[in-house]
Structure 1
Amino acid sequence: MCVRLNCAASTVRTGAAFYAPFGIEYSEFVAQDEQGYNIMQHYDLLANLANAVAEKKGRLFVHCEAGVNRSGSLCLAYHAATSGMTLLESAQHCKARRGRICTNPAFQLQVFGFARKHQLPL
């Protein structure tokens, strides 16, 4: 099972038909990389996809426009929630593998708030 999650569907336009011939499932949502945008409203979609893919030992490719804020923030939150690492360790782990992630200060606060709300180790 291979799934692609597009977190910037309004500007990165591919769609399910593009990936279907390759056996890749596709999901998308529109999100803005702006200070006032609630990126965490999309967390459940990402988590449900990631859990379903992991159960089938598949791959999930999560992206946005630059792979930094929208996708990076959600993946960081998911990693912190599922890896057993602290939020800081998760951030270091994800940054070491991706480079720049979660540079939007509002998204950083949202991920921190998510960790606190779910009583994840900071």
Structure 2
Amino acid sequence: MWLDHSGAQVANPWNPQSLPAPVVANYRRGILRAKVNVLKLTRIDASIECLEGPSVGSLVWITLPGLEARSAKVEANKGFTTHVRFTEPFHPAVLDAFLRGRIASIH
């Protein structure tokens, strides 16, 4: 199967997707573990709602339902919203399957 690279998609591939409802994910920084709400998600970054407010440059781990934990660096904080950039981007097909609900949690 080939990915559709229409003009609109090539100009702005995999923009931040505002999720219809926040996705509850697991969050870890060092020994701290918590639940967070993922508000926006792209292949390379995410915006999460987090009570902790980690410092910029911190390494955190985000586990989305049905997927393995993914490491990310904190890029910005504003209030309770934290912007993180994944150290390894999602494969486009994995992100697409997750956003369309084809990857379900088995936990």
Question: If the length of structure 1 is used for normalisation, what is the TM-score?
Answer: 0.26
Q: Which has the higher helix share?
A: 1
Q: Which has the higher strand share?
A: 2
